[in-house]
Amino acid sequence: MSEEHKTKIAVLTSGGDSAGMNAVVRAIVKYGITKGCEMFVVREGYEGLVRGNADAPTFKRKVSFNKHDLNGHTELLDDTSFISNLRYGDGTLLKEGEGDAMDHPGGRSLKGRYIIRVGWDDVRGWFAEGGTLIGTARSAAFRTREGRLSAAKNLIHEGIDALAVCGGDGSLTGADLFRSEWPSLVSDLKASGDITETQANYYAHLKIVGLVGSIDNDMSMTDTTIGAYTALHRICESMDNINSTAFSHSRAFVVEVMGRHCGWLALMAGISCGADFIFIPERPPKAHPWEDEMCDNIHRHREAGKRTTIVIVAEGAHDADLNPIRAEDVKTVLSERLGLDTRVTCLGHTQRGGRPCAWDRILPTLQGVEAVDALLEATPETPSYMIGMHENKITRVPLVEAVKMTQSVAVAIKDKDFEKAMSLRDPEFCEGLEGFVAVSALDNTKRLPKDQRMRVAIIHMGAPAGGMNAATRAAVRYCIRRGHKPLVIHNGFKGLLEDNLEELSWLRVDNWMVRGGSELGTNRALPDMDIGAVASQFQKHKFDAFFLIGGFEAFTSLLILDKARQHYPQFHIPMVHLPATISNNVPVTEFSLGCDTSLNALVDACDAIKQSASASRNRVFVVETQGGKCGYIATMGALAVGAVSVYTPESGITLDALRRDVEFLKLRYSLDAKGRSEGRLILRNEAASTVYTTEFLSKMLQEEGGELFDSRLASLGHTLQGGIPSPMDRARAVRLSLKCMAFLEKHHDALRNQPEHKRRAPDESAAVITIQSSRVELTPVQEMVDHADMKNRRAKSNWWIQHKELVESLGGKTPLMNEV
Ligand code: ATP
């Protein structure tokens, strides 16, 4: 092999399709190109590897890369409009009509070719597409040694050094087997004369990496799989619709969702949609027969006045003896034993389809980048990795271990060892199940003794954010379950001073999971507007614990109340703040409630804007986002929609940066293929600069674009607060709210025996619940101050700030401008 040999990386998608697979391919191809690699896609999963390019007809004329072929259609269009015309890793700028011919002298049609070299523009705009554009298949041939021998031969003939596989546990099992068998496959190919000795030596080791694309979220050693959250979005959309018809007719609905061995989708849908009962494979009902447990629960809910009944059944649900529990069985029981008018809905393949949610654009992008790095760093000694995710960290875990652990869940279920099956799932899954029971079951048996019960005040602060109501619902229901009194305060601290309080019932909050905005009403008034009056209201209403849900104002309020403890004994009670703000500007915590809902609102809006921008003519949209002085939404939004540039308050806007953007856009539009109009986006946070406003940026681009492009602006404003909260925000709200309640109980228990006038609450009893990498922590509010930039109302340092660079790299600016 020559010294100039560039690393050639191929990517394939395999098994069942999932949303986000296209984003994986896009990220791997683009990032690989920026790293100087030659990039290939393999069509139709492992089947494409087995078939290779040998049967492709040859043509005498040159042909270009063709998007339709990449979509899996086989017609050959002599059309240069989809040519990859950005520079390849080797710096070569492809001209119209070149490209494929350059790779394959003599020129060959894409028809019958499965391993195809791709360029930058071939994967442009793939974010918004569901499924997988390069095709997937379940390949029986690859399960045989003969098939894998052919796959190895094809890879070596195409000169591929490394392979990225995106699929479920089956696909990754295949990947692991392929890698372990590789030396013997190479040796057989050499013996049969299919490859030369030089090739055998050069390709002695296969570098392989796995990314988990699966809607089931069934892979061990990673918190989420690519596509799982989009599937949950689809389920929640359907369930929200079902809920309204169920309410109208006072009906029961039994909804079957996917999940043969894994109940994640059923569990998360149960939590997010406020179901009454769920059936999942890992934890069959304890009562025998299961009909009794389900009917007792649902009967209590109906007695309390509930008009709807929702039961979710995972596809692979069964009882403790592994007898299947089917949706139809559940319907019969509900109709016959409880006399409910019951319908069955099987969501089927609608769960797989549709546009990826924001998370399924961000996660595959970050994992795709990590996958390329893992391949480039791989040596014969390093294990093959699976790229995972743990809380908020992208991880590399040994592929073989992850596959083994995943398979052991199915074995544990088969052996009826359900404790083990649960223990093999991640802690969030187990917590989720406990949380579901705590907020769904109306159960008097868990009440605390009278002297341990609390009067818990709950207040919303600042701007509304998705998940505030879901968190309140969870807190209210937890209170009722434990015998506490949930007292909600309407209209913030102003409402408290006006005695605008209400004790909520279990039924009153029933449909709050899906409600956006703030059911309690919220504003920005802080308690120091009249701290003495606030203290006397605490006394008057005998608060034992105080629960604030909101953004930076809630954090500031807690600080004020904590400080006022030195003068007012009324504040010597446990107090907790659950961050909820679309700006995600509360220090220490990596996520707050509402920021996922907001990112999804941004993605929806930007997809529509981009479509309009492409349809009109070559147009650059400058999109303004909310976020105050925190650039989280703008930066992560830019990553999720493939913007070419992002402007944040943290970095500001300089004239040099503007000049660079103009130069980039001119160059980029001049390289675009003739007749192919492209919309491009620049995201600008509302407070990025007081001088270079959104209007200024758009006018400047309009002026500078000349014949090449024009520009418009769009301000997303309050639409970013989102309508219906996203499933991730709803589930996170329940999880964090219950942890807050446990915190309040713990500190109340420690304080309750101290006489009221002498009570001294420790500093740590006023805390903020924070997500920090792989942990959820209750951080004392005083400690938070060290990490807060109080003037700009944001954190001093932010984990997401590094992603600005990635936006510019995958948007094409960095690689292209570096070439100039
Ligand atoms: P999903 O989770 O959606 O079912 P998956 O990746 O688990 O996705 P499978 O059908 O199990 O889907 O596997 C996809 C492909 O991976 C198979 O068609 C086969 O080509 C390959 N494969 C799976 N298991 C093996 C194996 N043990 N040996 C070789 N190849 C395998």
Closest Cα to atom 25 of ligand 1: 174
Closest Cα to atom 14 of ligand 1: 15
Distance of CA 397 from the midpoint of ligand 1 (Å)? 19
3-state secondary structure of 162: strand
Q: For residue 30, what are the contacts with CB-CB under 8 A and spacing of at least 6?
A: 120, 123, 809, 810, 812
Residue 580 is classified by DSSP as: B
Residue 417 and residue 281 in contact, taking contact as beta carbons nearer than 8 Å: no
Question: What pLDDT sits at residue 817?
Answer: 78
Confidence label for 122 from pLDDT (cuts 50, 70 and 90)? confident
Residue 608 and residue 615 in contact, taking contact as beta carbons nearer than 8 Å: no
Question: What pLDDT sits at residue 69?
Answer: 30
Task: Answer yes or no: is 429 within a domain.
Answer: no
Q: Quick one: which atom of ligand 1 is closest to the CA of 141?
A: 20
Distance of CA 448 from the midpoint of ligand 1 (Å)? 50
**Could you tell me the residue range of the domain that residue 479 belongs to?**
448-592+725-795
Q: Which residue has the higher pLDDT, 23 or 392?
A: 23
Retrieve residue 207's tokens. 């570098």
Distance of CA 174 from the midpoint of ligand 1 (Å)? 6
Average pLDDT for 100-109: 35
Shared-domain flag, residues 400 and 488: no
Task: Indicate if the pLDDT at residue 101 is higher than 50.
Answer: no
Element spanning 682, H or E: strand 679-685
Domain at 493, CATH number? 3.40.50.450
Task: Indicate if the pLDDT at residue 756 is higher than 80.
Answer: no
* 455 carries a ligand binding annotation: no
Question: What pLDDT sits at residue 212?
Answer: 97
Shared-domain flag, residues 379 and 345: no
pLDDT in tens, 314-351: 999 999 999 999 999 999 999 999 999 999 999 988 88
Q: Quick one: which atom of ligand 1 is closest to the CA of 142?
A: 20
pLDDT in tens, 266-291: 999 999 999 999 999 999 988 778 99
pLDDT in tens, 582-601: 999 999 999 999 999 999 99
pLDDT in tens, 559-587: 999 999 999 999 999 999 999 999 999 99
User: How far apart (Å, rounded) are the C-alpha atoms in residues 85 and 62?
Assistant: 16
Shared-domain flag, residues 573 and 712: no
Domain at 332, CATH number? 3.40.50.460
80-85 contacts at long range (C-beta below 8 A, 24 or more positions apart)? 80/673, 81/673, 81/674, 81/675, 81/676, 82/121, 82/122, 82/673, 82/676, 83/119, 83/121, 83/673, 84/118, 84/119, 84/120, 84/121, 84/122, 85/119, 85/121, 85/671, 85/672, 85/673
Task: Indicate if the pLDDT at residue 98 is higher than 90.
Answer: no
Question: What pLDDT sits at residue 350?
Answer: 86
Shared-domain flag, residues 389 and 497: no
* 258 carries a ligand binding annotation: yes
Q: What percent of the chain has pLDDT over 90?
A: 71
* 679 carries a ligand binding annotation: no
* Number of structural domains in the chain: 4
Closest Cα to atom 10 of ligand 1: 15
Shared-domain flag, residues 179 and 42: yes
* 582 carries a ligand binding annotation: yes
Closest Cα to atom 13 of ligand 1: 170
Question: What pLDDT sits at residue 249?
Answer: 82
Helix/strand/coil percentages in the chain, nearest 5: 45, 15, 35
Task: Indicate if the pLDDT at residue 1 is higher than 70.
Answer: no
Shared-domain flag, residues 44 and 154: yes
| Pocket mutation for ligand 1, best pick of 18, 142, 163 (most atoms within 8 Å of C-beta) | 142
Shared-domain flag, residues 758 and 675: no
Distance of CA 15 from the midpoint of ligand 1 (Å)? 6
Closest Cα to atom 30 of ligand 1: 174
| Pocket mutation for ligand 1, best pick of 163, 171, 173 (most atoms within 8 Å of C-beta) | 171
Cα-flanking dihedrals φ and ψ of residue 807, to 5°?
A: -55, -45
Task: Answer yes or no: is 454 within a domain.
Answer: yes
CA-nearest of 723, 726, 712 to 681 is 712
Last residue of a domain, one of 322, 351, 380: 351
Last residue of a domain, one of 310, 330, 351: 351
Task: Indicate if the pLDDT at residue 260 is higher than 60.
Answer: yes
Closest Cα to atom 22 of ligand 1: 174
Cα-flanking dihedrals φ and ψ of residue 241, to 5°?
A: -70, -40
Confidence label for 677 from pLDDT (cuts 50, 70 and 90)? low
* 215 carries a ligand binding annotation: yes
Pick the most confident of 3-7, 697-701, 812-816.
697-701
Task: Answer yes or no: is 677 within a domain.
Answer: yes
Question: What pLDDT sits at residue 174?
Answer: 95
Task: Answer yes or no: is 423 within a domain.
Answer: no
Shared-domain flag, residues 735 and 673: no
Task: Answer yes or no: is 416 within a domain.
Answer: no
Task: Indicate if the pLDDT at residue 61 is higher than 50.
Answer: no
pTM here?
0.91
Q: Quick one: which atom of ligand 1 is closest to the CA of 218?
A: 2
* Residue 253 identity: F
Distance of CA 111 from the midpoint of ligand 1 (Å)? 25
Return the bridge partners of 486, or none: 456
Closest Cα to atom 24 of ligand 1: 170
pLDDT in tens, 133-189: 888 888 999 999 999 999 999 999 999 999 999 999 999 999 999 999 999 999 999
Task: Answer yes or no: is 432 within a domain.
Answer: no
Radius of gyration of the chain from its Cα atoms, rounded to whole angstroms: 28
Active site residues: 216
Question: What pLDDT sits at residue 58?
Answer: 47
Distance of CA 173 from the midpoint of ligand 1 (Å)? 7
Distance of CA 54 from the midpoint of ligand 1 (Å)? 24
Q: Quick one: which atom of ligand 1 is closest to the CA of 47?
A: 20
* 718 carries a ligand binding annotation: no
* 567 carries a ligand binding annotation: no
Question: What pLDDT sits at residue 140?
Answer: 93
Task: Answer yes or no: is 437 within a domain.
Answer: no
Task: Indicate if the pLDDT at residue 705 is higher than 70.
Answer: yes
* 619 carries a ligand binding annotation: yes
Average pLDDT for 744-761: 89
Last residue of a domain, one of 351, 375, 390: 351
Shared-domain flag, residues 257 and 241: yes
Shared-domain flag, residues 371 and 453: no
* 759 carries a ligand binding annotation: no
Question: What pLDDT sits at residue 55?
Answer: 66
Closest Cα to atom 9 of ligand 1: 170
Q: Quick one: which atom of ligand 1 is closest to the CA of 148?
A: 29
CA-nearest of 566, 575, 520, 568 to 545 is 575
| Pocket mutation for ligand 1, best pick of 12, 13, 14, 219 (most atoms within 8 Å of C-beta) | 14
Question: What pLDDT sits at residue 111?
Answer: 53
Vertex 439 angle, CA 433 and 442, to 5°: 115
Shared-domain flag, residues 587 and 730: yes
What residues does ligand 1 touch, defined as CB less than 6 Å away?
14-16, 46, 138-139, 142-143, 167-171, 173-174, 177, 214, 216
Cα-flanking dihedrals φ and ψ of residue 277, to 5°?
A: -155, 145
CA 265 to centroid of chain Cα atoms: 14
CA 554 to centroid of chain Cα atoms: 26
Crossing angle (nearest 10°) for helices 359-377 and 21-34: 40
Shared-domain flag, residues 700 and 764: no
Distance of CA 137 from the midpoint of ligand 1 (Å)? 9
Q: Quick one: which atom of ligand 1 is closest to the CA of 216?
A: 2
Distance of CA 145 from the midpoint of ligand 1 (Å)? 15
Task: Answer yes or no: is 471 within a domain.
Answer: yes
Mean pLDDT across the chain: 88
Retrieve residue 184's tokens. 């013997």
Question: What pLDDT sits at residue 427?
Answer: 79
